[in-house]
Structure 1
Amino acid sequence: MSPKRPAPPSHPSPSPGILSGRTLHILDAKLDAPTIAHLHTLASKARARLVPSPADADVLVTAISMRRRLERHLDWSSAMRKAVVRPDWLEQSVERATALPCAPFAALRSLRDATAAHCPFAPSHLPAPDLPPYLRPPSPPPAFTASALTPFEKLSCKRACPLVCPTQDLVEYLDVIRRSRELEGQDKSALSYARAIGVIKSYPKRVSKETRKEVEKLPQLGKKLLAIIDEWLETGKVAEIETIRTSERFHSLAALASIYGIGPATARRLYGLGVRTLEELEVYYDVQDGGPEDLVRIQDDDDDGKKGKAAWKGNEADEEDAWIKVALALRRDFAHKLSREDVERIYARIVAELADVQPGCASMIVGGYRRGKPESGDIDIVFTHPDARKVPGLAKKLVKALHAKHLVTHILHSVGPRTHDPLRTTPFDALEKALTVFAPPAPSSVRRRVDLIFALPDVYWTAVVGWTGGTLFERDLRAHAKLKCVALRMKFDSSGISRRGDSTPIYPRSEKEVFDVLDLPWIPPEWRNADA
């Protein structure tokens, strides 16, 4: 089916010449006549020179997403020497009045690296001349050999945990018990299973009868865990897990806790009130079938940093309930996973908008995306600026700019700038953040959760480390800093590192330096997957 014609941009006419001197070829295949005309108009506005042959173009614009079909128009070796992008690259570049980076808009996944390498435009999120070296990711990255780390270390921040391990099926099996314990409020037991999962994730061999003796020597595996492993080795399943999987209570609690803002304790309370399904939860919270259109936006912080009140359909409501209502109404959108291309495309748009609000920022996508996950449930982005005076209040400014363009529709939670607490008297970091609902431009109509985190430049890499690792990895980082750094005695969270004795802050100037300061071996992001 031919794609719908994109709506004309609502912004003022762009500055002339954003593609001046560049050659462009628009491949007509899979595009209808109105869309082709629209793209030609955009190319003309951008002062690009349209060429009749794809071989002569700097950038090839196409709606084709399969190699076999592209090769009908351009041989593959030529395609590998081009920036091959989707039509929305041209649309968004003209709308933003700047040539956006090509990689997030690569038409084919297999051409993404080639598109990035041959894109004639520098990525908009790297104003390199103005960024001090310590805010730039190192190139090449620090050397790392996974086999140099042993799985016999007790803490996951000292082990190499891949995204998928040789015994991933056992890991996912054990995670059913961990999740059940968590939902029932049995936190110590849940943590024990999480630690066992982290150890198995780092074990470089498949758990089998042949490796059973060695597995027994791994840390965090007590008699009960080893008995479960033995049962799994003998029968291929575990009776307790099969019971959990058929439990109506487990499935109800898991469904309720899948909604943003509903933790295990709230899920148990709702279950006790007779709520069993998400449809019943909608009735309980009076969420109508109308979905997002019925939601009143949650206001961001006031200037004094206090949380704004949340309103639901015109009535004052408890703020936590308002988050739940927003998330519940948008649950079908949130259930859609984001591909890496989706993440990169949204990131490119947000960074382009931030450049208007405050030029010269550094930023990085963190979370599961940075650990190598092929799909993500949400997007986490850490920002900073070389001038520390320009960071406080920047989250609010960016959200307002995104909201004005209908790119952010709700704020689920926001925290204004606060002073770092070197004594960690509270369990929360001091980073400025806005947890938002992002509405991507057409053709996508699926709303996404995007968390925007702002750090002062001195703690940028601490924030990157703190928002990259999985739950267990970050927990073990804090435990190591507290208990294991005997000589230094550190305190660590996403907003800073300080010495315990005198609360003196320490400011690492790179991600690896965070590990060096904490006396830890360097572990790249894709090896920090200690969770199932």
Structure 2
Amino acid sequence: MTSSIPRAPTSSPSVHDDEAFPQLPLFTNYPPMFVLPTRLSLEGLHTLEDELARFEATLTYDVSEARIFLGTISQRKRAALELRARGVWTEEVVEAEVVASPVVGSGAVSAAGKRGKALGPESESSTPSAKRRRLASSKGKGWSQHDPVDLSSTESESADAESRAPSPLRQHKSPSPSASSVSTIETKTQTQPEQDAIVPENQVKVVKLEWITQSIKAGRVLDIDQYVVYHGKVIARPQDPNSAKKHTPISSVKKDSEGILARAIGDAASRPAPPSQSSYTSRFASSSRHKGGDSSQQYHPPTLYRQSTSEHDATVLIPPAPDWVKNRVMYACMRSAPLHPPNEAFITQLVKIRKVRELTLDEIGVRAYSTSIAALAAYPYELRTPVEVLSLPGCDTKIANLFVEFRNSADGKLEAANVLDSDPVISTIHQFYNIWGVGAKTARDFYYQRQWRDLDDVIEHGWNNLSRVQQIGLKYYDEFLAGIPRAEVTEIAKTIHRHANLVRPGCDYDGQGIDCIIVGGYRRGKETSGDIDLVLSHRDERVTKDLIIDIVGSLESEGWITHTLALHMTTSNREQQTLPFRGDPDSHHFDSLDKALVVWQDPNFEIATKNATGDDAEAEAEPVKNTNPHRRVDIIISPWRTVGCAVLGWSGDTTFERDLRRYAKKAHGWKFDSSGVRERTSGGHVIDLEKGGRTWEERERLVMEGLGVGWRPATERCTR
């Protein structure tokens, strides 16, 4: 399959004329080379292959023949993975003998180095593609009808070439068969020892592309070992432990199948007629028909439908259903969901499945799972049977089937949930998704469009293309993912509250001052929080106007804030009024209050003491790095007239807040958000539900009662 690709003919003088740009046989004595297409455009791939052919490189499309792999790889693990993905299994050569690479083509300096890697359009018209030249050379080997032909290698070559999507074939002049055959035999005979010295037999090297470009510029082949990313020894593919089952003799399979069929026929003859279709089966089939899709995915008979006598007896032990189950209450904001419900282990598995749906951009699936999870989180008893699951509003046969699988599993895990950790594609996209400032769609673009496979790829190949927020999220990736203990949340809130009073001196004239309320997961009772959310408010609107700017400036001057990710002045800009019914046309962010999203770091840290020596004195002159972790903090400012809406809007889980807005619209025709309540039917008339509340706790209670959902503390709004 390999061939020494002949020099591309030039029919007329051009920028690639041999007289103007002498072509040196730089890589004639080097082993067969394979170009890894990872992170290379199609045009760049063809340009590189043409360049290699011009300098007499032995280029191959068959990975089994290649000893040198050229690519944009810079890590050993990634290089081994790229080889394995193409069927080349290797183990790293730890202490390989370093053999000096022969310097060939020591003539005049190649003029190709002056023009770099870029080739003009004339090259495409006059120089045939690498594959066409290789095929032409192969045809010129003088094969006869008696020579054996390796069809397997031909298939692998065509499949690999098809996956790389080569450009249309170009016209060229084929070399004479006799000349090609003789030159190929002579090259193999003369260069075999030199090739083995560069890359020993049954070994491969993954080399950076800079080796090619720098060698062409220098007019001689540079030391390849200086550019080697990975040096491996080719090994056999590891044996599949289940291969013994896959290679069962046909006679044995046939014999077993005949015995199974015979027993099945006998059982069917003695079995009574099947009963009519159960109600559960009818529900599942009906929902599948309405959902559409592939017929193979519409109906999978689950174990749920085969109910034993013990399961029917267990229904007697089912506790009485709560009122919201009897009345089929669909809104999560009208149910109490504690932080640690009885079915927390099962809910955790469903949350993982929902995350997979989110990473695959299945918005309908995300909403469906959120509804089911919220109902399970509010159920006050431990589930015993799938019938209980089906009785919950928002839980269908799919959730019941998953419960049966969860109950019967040895480790308490679901196969669909394991995908988040076991599937390499989903787990990589999830890793990108965890970068602050990167959503599910962007994370998928990182993987599929830009071909990044880990965080190092993002840093090395895409750092300059990231937004400032994404760069910060990547820089403090591990610190942002680490949880913030409750004690630290309390200390950070005290610091922010202190600076709020500093920038508004005398604001305590009313005996109350500025209120600082910690909301989010902390208020719901979590032991650790992913970030910190605080709402600041004052009874005098002159105090809260533009307060966010002054607080951020004060905290930055004292060193508490290292980065400001976002700063919004939407409430102050509209004179602290409730958001209009139709929304603010100039607002494109997720909330309607003044807020600052910042990166927080405690500036007070301990400096390690050193001995009083001369070297230590010089070291002390160097700046000492702050070792305290970086935290994500959201500071929200709310006017007092709607502080109850602000606290309510920032205290519940996502599904609770979603259903709160849905219920306000459905039951009253109102629009609810953190800035207040407006009527939808009267053109946006403001509804004051907080009138008469003296504290922010009273005002929050008045809002919930006014909406009709009833009061429940924040610790019972944990819908996951």
- Same structural fold, with TM-score higher than 0.5 when normalized by the shorter chain: yes
Q: 2:599 aligns with which of 437, 457, 462?
A: 437
Task: Tell me the C-alpha RMSD between the 2 structures.
Answer: 1.9
Cα distance in 2, alignment partners of residues 523 and 422 from structure 1 = 28
1:268-279 → structure 2 map (5 Å cutoff): 268-272=444-448, 273-279=450-456
Asked whether the 8 Å contact 2:493–2:516 carries over to 1, the reply is: no
Displacement, 1:471? Answer: 0.7
Instruction: Report what 1:423 is aligned to.
Output: 581
Instruction: Report what 1:498 is aligned to.
Output: 678
Cα distance in 2, alignment partners of residues 254 and 266 from structure 1 = 11
Cα distance in 2, alignment partners of residues 456 and 282 from structure 1 = 42
Instruction: Report what 1:250 is aligned to.
Output: 426
Matched, 1:214 2:388: yes
Asked whether the 8 Å contact 1:371–1:528 carries over to 2, the reply is: yes
Cα distance in 1, alignment partners of residues 361 and 468 from structure 2 = 24
Structure with more of its chain in helix, by fraction:
2
Q: 1:341 aligns with which of 477, 480, 487?
A: 487
Give the aligned residue type for 2:716.
Answer: W
Matched, 1:356 2:514: no
SS at match of 2:672: strand
Instruction: Report what 2:537 is aligned to.
Output: 384
Give the aligned residue type for 2:538.
Answer: H
Moved more, 409-418 or 372-381: 409-418
Residues 361-385 of structure 1 show CA distances to partners (whole Å, capped at 9, x for unaligned) of 1120000000000100110000112
Asked whether the 8 Å contact 2:356–2:419 carries over to 1, the reply is: no
Instruction: Report what 1:401 is aligned to.
Output: 554
Q: 1:322 to 1:189 in 2, by over 3 A?
A: same
Matched, 1:323 2:456: no
Displacement, 1:390? Answer: 2.3
Q: 1:453 aligns with which of 636, 659, 683?
A: 636
Displacement, 1:148? Answer: 7.9
Cα distance in 2, alignment partners of residues 421 and 197 from structure 1 = 31
Instruction: Report what 1:530 is aligned to.
Output: 719
Instruction: Structure 1: give runs of 5+ residues left out of the alignment.
Output: 1-146, 288-316
Residues 196-239 of structure 1 show CA distances to partners (whole Å, capped at 9, x for unaligned) of 11111111111223xx3232110111122221112222234433
Displacement, 1:149? Answer: 6.4
TM-score (norm 2): 0.47
Q: 1:352 to 1:243 in 2, by over 3 A?
A: closer
Cα distance in 2, alignment partners of residues 263 and 481 from structure 1 = 28
1:154-165 → structure 2 map (5 Å cutoff): 154-165=330-341
SS at match of 1:216: helix
Cα distance in 2, alignment partners of residues 352 and 377 from structure 1 = 23
Asked whether the 8 Å contact 2:486–2:522 carries over to 1, the reply is: yes
Displacement, 1:405? Answer: 0.7
Give the aligned residue type for 1:492.
Answer: F
Give the aligned residue type for 1:179.
Answer: K
Cα distance in 1, alignment partners of residues 593 and 709 from structure 2 = 24
Asked whether the 8 Å contact 2:419–2:426 carries over to 1, the reply is: no
Instruction: Report what 2:353 is aligned to.
Output: 177
Q: 1:233 to 1:424 in 2, by over 3 A?
A: farther
Instruction: Report what 1:134 is aligned to.
Output: none
Asked whether the 8 Å contact 1:149–1:158 carries over to 2, the reply is: no
Cα distance in 2, alignment partners of residues 262 and 389 from structure 1 = 37
TM-score (norm 1): 0.63
Cα distance in 1, alignment partners of residues 426 and 482 from structure 2 = 22
Matched, 1:467 2:650: yes
Displacement, 1:240? Answer: 2.5
Instruction: Report what 2:660 is aligned to.
Output: 477
Cα distance in 1, alignment partners of residues 420 and 434 from structure 2 = 17
Asked whether the 8 Å contact 2:653–2:718 carries over to 1, the reply is: yes
Give the aligned residue type for 1:279.
Answer: D
SS at match of 2:496: helix
Cα distance in 2, alignment partners of residues 154 and 231 from structure 1 = 25
Residues 15-38 of structure 1 show CA distances to partners (whole Å, capped at 9, x for unaligned) of xxxxxxxxxxxxxxxxxxxxxxxx
Cα distance in 2, alignment partners of residues 393 and 355 from structure 1 = 14
Cα distance in 1, alignment partners of residues 405 and 573 from structure 2 = 51
Cα distance in 2, alignment partners of residues 237 and 445 from structure 1 = 36
Instruction: Report what 2:324 is aligned to.
Output: 150
Q: 1:472 to 1:194 in 2, by over 3 A?
A: same
Give the aligned residue type for 2:719.
Answer: A
Q: 1:234 aligns with which of 408, 417, 433?
A: 408
Displacement, 1:243? Answer: 4.0
Q: 1:334 to 1:243 in 2, by over 3 A?
A: closer
Instruction: Report what 1:61 is aligned to.
Output: none
Asked whether the 8 Å contact 2:486–2:527 carries over to 1, the reply is: yes
Asked whether the 8 Å contact 1:418–1:431 carries over to 2, the reply is: no
Displacement, 1:347? Answer: 0.6
Moved more, 276-285 or 220-229: 276-285
Instruction: Report what 1:332 is aligned to.
Output: 478
Give the aligned residue type for 1:439.
Answer: Q
Give the aligned residue type for 1:356.
Answer: L
Give the aligned residue type for 1:453.
Answer: I
Structure exhibiting the larger radius of gyration computed from Cα positions: 2
Give the aligned residue type for 1:380.
Answer: D
Cα distance in 2, alignment partners of residues 267 and 321 from structure 1 = 14
Asked whether the 8 Å contact 1:162–1:529 carries over to 2, the reply is: yes
Cα distance in 1, alignment partners of residues 457 and 377 from structure 2 = 37
Displacement, 1:424? Answer: 4.2
Moved more, 169-178 or 270-279: 270-279
Instruction: Structure 2: give runs of 5+ residues left out of the alignment.
Output: 1-320, 508-512, 606-626, 694-698
Instruction: Report what 1:282 is aligned to.
Output: 459
Asked whether the 8 Å contact 1:156–1:476 carries over to 2, the reply is: yes
Q: 2:669 aligns with which of 489, 497, 506?
A: 489
Asked whether the 8 Å contact 1:424–1:491 carries over to 2, the reply is: no
Instruction: Report what 2:187 is aligned to.
Output: none
Cα distance in 2, alignment partners of residues 222 and 148 from structure 1 = 18
Cα distance in 1, alignment partners of residues 602 and 323 from structure 2 = 41
SS at match of 1:157: helix
Cα distance in 1, alignment partners of residues 322 and 375 from structure 2 = 16
Asked whether the 8 Å contact 1:149–1:159 carries over to 2, the reply is: no
Give the aligned residue type for 2:704.
Answer: F
Give the aligned residue type for 1:433.
Answer: K
